Amino acid sequence: MDYFEVFALPRILGIDLSSLEKTFHELSRRYHPDYFSTAPAAEKTKAVRMTALLNDAYRTLRHPVRRVEYLLSLHGFKSDGSKVPQSLLMEVFEINEQLEEVKAGRASAEQTGSLRAQIKEKRERFDAELRQASLAWDELVKANASEPIRKEHLGKLAEILSESSYIRNLESELEGKGKGH
Amino acid sequence: MPKIVGIDLGTTNSLVAIVEDGTPRVIPGTDGSRLVPSVIYFDETGTVLVGNGAKEKMVEKSKNTIFSIKRFMGKGIEDVRADLPLLPFEVSPQSEHIIRLKIFGRDYTPPELSAFILRELKRNAEASLGEEIKNAVITVPAYFNDAQRQATKDAGRIAGLDVLRIVNEPTAASLAYGLDKRNQGTIAVYDFGGGTFDISILKLKDGIFEVLSTSGDTHLGGDDIDEEMIRLVLNEIRGQTPDSRERELGVSTRIPAIRKAVNAAKEDLSAAESVEIIIDSLQYKRTMTRTEFNNLIDPIIERTLKPCRQALQDAGLQPGAIDEVVMVGGSTRIPLVLQKVEELFGRIPHTELNPDEVVALGAAVQADILAGGQRDMLLLDVTPLSVGIETMGGVLSKILPRNSTIPASATEMFTTFIDGQTNVKIHVLQGERELVKDCRSLAQFDLKDIPPMTAGMARIEVKFLIDADGILSVSAQEQRTGKYQSIEVKPTYGLTDEQVEHMILESFEYAESDIEARLVIEARIEAETVLNATVKGLSDDQYASLPDDEKTAITAAAKTLRAVMKTEDHHAIRGAIETLGNATMHLAELIMNTAISKALKDKRVTEIENE
């Protein structure tokens, strides 16, 4: 069972979060291992596996980026946030150079601020593109588009995703996130 | 349906609670005390005391009175090295991956020591409820890692309890607060106990308590405040006292006395504006004001605020978005703590329930949910730390992010690098850092008996599953052959299943030899009394009037008893006491009669004198 099937959803990207949560709560009440603690071992194990699947599905589908990643992985696309996307090839040297300056503590507050703004602007641009492309995907699904057309669109989604995750990585490096706390 | 109890296995105090008629209540011990101090005292005869009786020995018998064992759960020696100078315990050399404390020549692991506390709580519950208790829910700090959770479960097994669930303390507390009466909202639980700190942010909706994020520090609590105060006192004594005088006073051996004094001062300062710290044995006396105390502990309290901000950030919330703040743990009685938490969240925290009891009450509520007593509330908790696997170059590849709702799972594909390779090793870790060396090693999984194939051909699907207790398990299947792989698990910090089994067996013996030891001691004490009485009788005038065979019988029986009482056989001791009793019966009667007539005579004399 894939994550969309868990929630009885078609493979679409525009998901209403409050109805997703409602279904999540209903299914939790049906499958959660807390309700099977006195049941036979086999049923208990099944409850744990079912709930794990439900939680994995909810964690993935409620997040707009993870949702796209998952859809792509279902269609055999591999995401790689470390590869420099073609469209960023020109700017990436400059951004990286500035980032090194910031990390080494040589950048002024002004320079850091400008880099932050530059990265944020790009991230927002990609986020908007991703939203657009996601909506377009849903239209194709609704219109029952042919397999080659779908594949082509998924390719486009994959490209935007790799751009946006590349920028996201730069952003978290700048904020020092994911470096432990 | 057998009863399920809720247990708060705390650093300082432990409690057991149960839901009856829909209401949770704490079950007091036989001494009437609701809190069982998490202290275990061993004496040289093998007798073990737990709770208030053991706490009394902390100063006088500090070496064999164990406290705050929770801080050692799931830890190796390197993790606790910094704490050891202030602790009176002897650590066994075999402590690299599991701390072992040496007590009268025997090594004890933290799960075995915690099991003594759990057994005491189990007994208390059984005495009060009048039935055997086999099932329990035990709470742990939300920020406990896999090894610490597993160690807690092991402790339960050693104590003869089936641990149906491990529940996070802050989440348990939120259940006890009856916040479900409020239909929905966002709650922050600030749990500052004796040894650990947790913050959990929960979203409450239609009876579902969904944890959004959790953070904390499993080595930050009231103990750290005590230790800060101990250091202050030590510095002051050392500052005033020349070295020789210090040696004479044996300052470093009096740390247990200092600990007791500063702990009392700390507690008093929650209400008083200033207190006296007096340590007679060190001729030390000083006054401490609340302000001075606040300045001393401010850095410690500040350390709790960082995880709070982290949890808010992980939940994607601003402090103002929190509707309710709940205070849990004894350290939240400190006015400065209350003040700082109020400042951070901008609202007055809840302190209605006793902060020492609220976790145990919540554990009982969770136990009731498991027992099917009520189905309205459901707790959805998260894993506090990311789980990852070691990849090339010692880099951690995260497979499950922190704050994932549990149970949770992740699947990874592995392959072979050499032709015919039949083994693949997987190193699993927990932590947020990028390099393996900065994370906590969890276990090595060894996938065995992979069908021999060309390098890279095998496709082994490995499934990582974190259950509702927050404990990881791993299963693997080779995709081409569909064969399930056998996996050998080597926990990095923890006991293997075999070791736990062995300890369970030992604990049975322990429980039995415990009773045996007590029976022997009691028999010996009685033998002593009987022998003393006999010796007295031999010097009595009446002894001379006995026939010779009676005299021989008495001396023979006394000799036998003297020999038998040195053995460990209480049946034999009792038998010898009885034999001697029979042999001396006639003599006793004679002595008694003369004593009575003598008493009468004495009485007459005094009566005459009085007249």
Q: Is A80 on the interface with B (CB under 8 A)?
A: no
Please name the member of A34, A56, A58 whose beta carbon is closest to the beta carbon of B409.
A56
Q: CB distance B379–A180 less than 8 Å?
A: no
Q: Is B242 exposed, middle or buried (0-12, 13-18, 19+ CB in 10 A)?
A: exposed
Shortest Cα–Cα distance, A22 to chain B (Å)? 10
Residue A32 with chain B: CB contacts under 8 Å: 378, 380, 468
Q: Does domain B499-607 have CATH number 1.20.1270.10?
A: yes
For residues B390 and B205, what is the distance between their CA atoms, to the nearest angstrom?
A: 38
- Reported as a single tens digit per residue, the pLDDT across B319-363 is 999 999 999 999 999 999 999 999 999 999 999 889 999 999 999
Residue B206 with chain A: CB contacts under 8 Å: 25
Q: CB distance B1–A49 less than 8 Å?
A: no
Parse chain A into domains and list their residue ranges. Answer: 3-62, 86-175
Shortest Cα–Cα distance, B208 to chain A (Å)? 7
Cα distances (angstroms) measured from residue A63 to each of A7, A16, A20, A60, B397 = 15, 11, 11, 6, 20
Tell me the pLDDT band of B608, cut-offs 50, 70 and 90. very low
Tell me the pLDDT band of A177, cut-offs 50, 70 and 90. very low
Q: Return the CATH number of B4-221+296-380, one of 1.20.210.10, 3.40.50.300, 3.30.420.40, 3.40.50.720.
A: 3.30.420.40
Please name the member of A37, A56, A179 whose beta carbon is closest to the beta carbon of B164.
A37
- Reported as a single tens digit per residue, the pLDDT across B415-437 is 888 898 888 888 999 988 888 88
For residues B175 and B362, what is the distance between their CA atoms, to the nearest angstrom?
A: 5
- Reported as a single tens digit per residue, the pLDDT across B44-69 is 888 899 999 899 888 888 889 999 99
Q: Is B406 on the interface with A (CB under 8 A)?
A: yes
Amino acid A92: pLDDT = 72
Please name the member of A34, A55, A59 whose beta carbon is closest to the beta carbon of B370.
A34
Tell me the pLDDT band of B380, cut-offs 50, 70 and 90. very high
Q: Is B433 on the interface with A (CB under 8 A)?
A: yes
| Count of CA atoms in the C-beta half-sphere (13 A) of B373 | 20
Residue B380 with chain A: CB contacts under 8 Å: 28, 32, 55
In terms of DSSP bridges, do strands B208-217 and B378-380 run parallel, antiparallel, or are they unpaired? parallel
Please name the member of A38, A51, A55 whose beta carbon is closest to the beta carbon of B372.
A38
For residues B387 and B402, what is the distance between their CA atoms, to the nearest angstrom?
A: 7
Annotated active-site positions of B, please?
Answer: 8, 70, 169, 191
Q: CB distance B465–A48 less than 8 Å?
A: yes
The topology (CATH level 3) of A3-62 is Helix Hairpins (1.10.287)
CATH number of B387-495: 2.60.34.10
Residue B205 with chain A: CB contacts under 8 Å: 21, 25
Q: CB distance B407–A178 less than 8 Å?
A: no
Q: Is A30 on the interface with B (CB under 8 A)?
A: no
> Tell me, what's the ipTM?
0.85
Residue type for B552, please? T
Average per-residue pLDDT in chain B?
A: 88
Q: Is A34 on the interface with B (CB under 8 A)?
A: yes
Helical packing angle, A89-103 and A109-142, nearest 10°: 140
How many C-beta atoms lie closer than 10 Å to residue A127's C-beta?
16
pTM comes to: 0.81
User: Which range among A85-89, A121-125, B376-380 has the greatest average pLDDT?
Assistant: B376-380
- Is the pLDDT at B490 greater than 90? The verdict is no
Parse chain B into domains and list their residue ranges. Answer: 4-221+296-380, 222-295, 387-495, 499-607
Amino acid A180: pLDDT = 34
Q: Is A56 on the interface with B (CB under 8 A)?
A: yes
Amino acid B277: pLDDT = 93
Question: How many beta-carbon pairs below 8 A join chains A and B?
Answer: 75
The topology (CATH level 3) of B222-295 is Actin; Chain A, domain 4 (3.90.640)
Shortest Cα–Cα distance, A37 to chain B (Å)? 6
Cis-peptide, bond into residue B407, ω within 30° of zero: yes
Shortest Cα–Cα distance, B15 to chain A (Å)? 22
Mutate to test the interface with A, among B409, B471, B472 (most CBs of A within 10 A): B409
Amino acid A80: pLDDT = 60
Q: What are phi and psi of B54, to 5 degrees?
A: -70, -35
Amino acid B134: pLDDT = 93
For residues B258 and B262, what is the distance between their CA atoms, to the nearest angstrom?
A: 6
